[in-house]
Amino acid sequence: MDTIGFIGTGHLGYPIAENLIRAGYKLKVYNRTASKAEPLKALGAEIVSSPEAAATKGGIVMSLVSDDAAVEAVNTDALLSALGNGGVHVSMSTIGPEAARKLAEKSKAHGVTYIAAPVFARPEAAAAKVGNAVIAGEKGAKERITPLLQAGFAKNVFDLGEDPGSANVLKLIGNFMIAASIELMSEAFTLAEKNNLDTRVVYEMLTTTLFASPIFRNYGGMILDRQFAGNPSFSAALGLKDIDLVLQTGKATLTPLPMADLVKSRLLTVLAQGVKDADWLALATGAMHDAGLKP
Amino acid sequence: MDTIGFIGTGHLGYPIAENLIRAGYKLKVYNRTASKAEPLKALGAEIVSSPEAAATKGGIVMSLVSDDAAVEAVNTDALLSALGNGGVHVSMSTIGPEAARKLAEKSKAHGVTYIAAPVFARPEAAAAKVGNAVIAGEKGAKERITPLLQAGFAKNVFDLGEDPGSANVLKLIGNFMIAASIELMSEAFTLAEKNNLDTRVVYEMLTTTLFASPIFRNYGGMILDRQFAGNPSFSAALGLKDIDLVLQTGKATLTPLPMADLVKSRLLTVLAQGVKDADWLALATGAMHDAGLKP
């Protein structure tokens, strides 16, 4: 099987890299903090000390890092030269569409195809390969890398066409909708609690009928159980970064998004309160606090 | 089988009454506008000319009318006397919890048990008996009337306990969540459209994975198809009435609900624009208008 470069073994990258190794791929792994990648060595991965050292000529590099600046620090001339003509950079990070388009242009100048393939999955879903991928970019390269997404984390792969930015827009829309749904459930459960309803029955009724979807079912249960801090699988700070990208994308295309404004305020409040290890789910505490409930 | 009094044969009441007749119940039907009930005569119903004429001693009367005032105009001394000791009033209307509690008290003084059983179903779902019922009130009466809800419209029946107001709170919460989800999908699809994404792929991705629930799937499809007016199955005016009840319930219990404030504004705008026969789904036009799109 191909040797794949893999850059970024954080909360989400690590289980994806592990899945790829277990599926038989040879991995060259780079992570800024090398110790986080170290356990993959025992599974057979080679740990390298720079992004470009993960690349092979005409091969594939997958990256999953935290933000626009981090992807730019990966997609360097050195990496693109090492990949060279026929190479593919599968960029799985959640970044803005304009950044993705610029990275694609820069890659193209080196003969490298940039594919945007952001990940819809919390770490446990990625590990179980029940996540969702949205991809955009050049057709042939998309076909080439799709098996990697499936082996790494994705149950479903949705194709948004040629413009790499479009996959990032859909990823941002998805995260915006999750955040807004967290706020909505929080307001709903708070109203139920303040009216002395059995919130467990309310949750069961809503999430097994009208709102019987993974987001409402899973996040709703965590809101009821007040799982707002402790080992966050997606931090409030990262959530704020994504909602900011949503609002920037709205600004760039003149699209007012009042619900995104609201969840941004909620996330700012979470960070202002300085809760250690807050998950972005903690935005649900806003409506509870406002109504005088103890979250 | 029992003779059942049935009051209110509007968009939602009519298919429920028809289902009950087809299930073998004898119905005495009252509707303020008698002509709307008339077609039920051919199926075997008796059409009567006052709410109390629908009642039988110790029997059951079901009602489904538009608002608090309309339920109060049904739950009269005349009706309660006609039902008398052992009688049950199954109140299926979407009204506020305080109104429900007052109606229950008044009923009790006549020996009548008031059961709150608001309907979660658009007319076509009620007709197909795939709706959901939430019930609250005295235990024995709930057991007695549950088969009627199942024969009339309900696939599932959720029990909120003894306080009749609690079923109405859950119904209001459900409608609030539907309205907020319509706004959310509208903002999401608008952002997608303004970024030149294929909105059909966006819809498919979101509503077959993260948001694979009846509300997102069905209402999302109607938003994409711009089904905002024409033969509304739930009018914008009725939607506004419900969101007002949500906000009143929030006020009475000191529960700020910023998302409910937002959807109320959207519904006011729909009514201000004077679109004939607007469905409450038309609240989705707000985000589109704001972003310069033609809904």
Report the residue of A184, A190, A219 to disrupt the B interface, i.e. the one with the largest count of B CBs within 10 Å: A184
Q: What are φ and ψ of residue B158, in 5° steps?
A: -110, 130
pLDDT tens sequence across B165-180: 999 999 999 999 999 9
pLDDT at position B120 over 90: yes
Which residues in chain A have their CB less than 8 angstroms from residue B173's CB?
188, 191-192, 202, 206
Portion 179-198 of A in contact with B at CB < 8 A: 180-181, 183-185, 187-188, 190-192, 194-198
Asked if B99 and B175 sit in the same domain, the reply is: no
Instruction: Choose one of A162, A196, A231: the last residue of a domain.
Output: A162
pLDDT at B54: 98
- The A residues from 19 to 48 touching B (CB cutoff 8 Å) are none
Q: What integer is the mean pLDDT of A150-169?
A: 97
Q: List, as ranges, residues 153-172 from A with C-beta within 8 Å of B.
A: 156, 158-161, 163, 165-166, 169-170
Whether residue B27 has pLDDT greater than 90 = yes
A257, A237 in Cβ contact below 8 A?
A: no
- Residue ending a domain, choose from A162, A192, A207: A162
pLDDT confidence bin for A232, thresholds 50/70/90: confident
Give the chain A residue whose CA is nearest to the CA of B214: A210
For residue A189, being part of any structural domain is answered with yes
Domain-located, residue B104: yes
Can you tell me the mean pLDDT for A270-275? 92
Closest to B180 measured CA to CA, from A74, A192, A187: A187
The CA-CA-CA angle for residues B285, B291, B295, to 5°, reads: 30
Which band of pLDDT confidence, cut at 50, 70 and 90, is reported for residue A231? confident
B172 vs chain A: nearest CA distance in angstroms?
9
Considering the domain architecture, whether residues B201 and B152 belong to the same structural domain is answered as no
CATH of the domain at A59: 3.40.50.720
Structure confidence at residue B275 as a pLDDT band (50, 70, 90): confident
Q: Which CA distances in Å does A273 have to A210, A261, A282, A289? A: 34, 19, 11, 12
Nearest residue to A100 via CA among A89, A111, A85? A89
Same domain for B158 and B172:
no
A2 compared with B237, residue with greater pLDDT: B237
Q: Is A224 on the interface with B (CB under 8 A)?
A: no
pLDDT at A2: 81
Confidence band (pLDDT; 50, 70, 90) for A275?
Answer: confident
- What pLDDT is stored for residue A25 in this prediction? 97
Record: contact A292-B201, CB cut-off 8 A: no
- B272 touching A (Cβ < 8 Å): no
Beta-strand (E) ranges in chain A?
3-7, 26-30, 46-47, 60-63, 88-91, 113-116, 119-120, 131-135, 154-159
Q: What is the pLDDT of residue A120?
A: 95
Indicate yes or no: CB of B209 within 8 angstroms of CB of A120: yes
What phi and psi values does residue B12 have, to the nearest 5 degrees?
-95, -40
Residue B171: name the closest of B128, B215, B131, B118 by CA: B118
Residue A141 sits in the same domain as residue A21? yes
Task: Give the CATH number, domain containing residue B281.
Answer: 1.10.1040.10
Same domain, B153 and B235: no
Residues A22-33 pLDDT 10s? 999 999 999 999
Contact B40, B68 (CB under 8 A): no
The mean pLDDT value for A165-174 works out to: 98
Q: Are A199 and A192 in contact (CB under 8 A)?
A: yes
pLDDT at B230: 84
- Each residue's pLDDT tens digit, B52-99: 999 999 999 999 999 999 999 999 999 999 999 999 999 999 999 999
Q: Domain check: are B149 and B206 in the same one?
A: no
ipTM, two decimals, is 0.95
Domain, as residue range, for A47:
3-162
Q: What is the pLDDT of residues B197-236, one digit of tens each?
A: 999 999 999 999 999 999 999 999 999 999 998 888 789 9
Q: What is the mean pLDDT of residues B266-272?
A: 96
What is the rounded average pLDDT for all residues in chain B? 96
pLDDT at B276: 84
* Closest C-alpha to B259, from A178, A180, A289: A180
Question: Are residues B188 and B83 located together in one domain of the fold?
Answer: no
Residue B184 has pLDDT above 90, yes or no: yes
User: Does residue B29 register a pLDDT over 80?
Assistant: yes
Q: Measure B35 CA to nearest chain A CA, in Å.
A: 33
Identify the closest residue of chain B to A266 by CA–CA distance: B258
Q: pLDDT-based confidence at A276, cuts 50/70/90? A: confident
Question: Any bridge partners for residue B47, and if so which?
Answer: B29
pLDDT for residue B143: 98
Q: Tell me if B51 is assigned to some domain.
A: yes
Q: Is the pLDDT of residue A1 over 80?
A: no
Q: What whole-number distance in Å separates Cα of residue A143 and Cα of residue A123?
A: 25
Looking at CA atoms only, how far is residue B4 from chain A in angstroms?
28
Q: Grade residue A178 by pLDDT with cuts at 50, 70 and 90.
A: very high
| Domain end residue (candidates: A128, A162, A196) | A162
Which chain A residues are closer than 8 Å to B291 by Cβ?
A: 253-256
> Which residue, among B292, B294, B269, has the nearest Cα to B282 in the 3D structure?
B269
Give the position of tokens 């009269």: B76
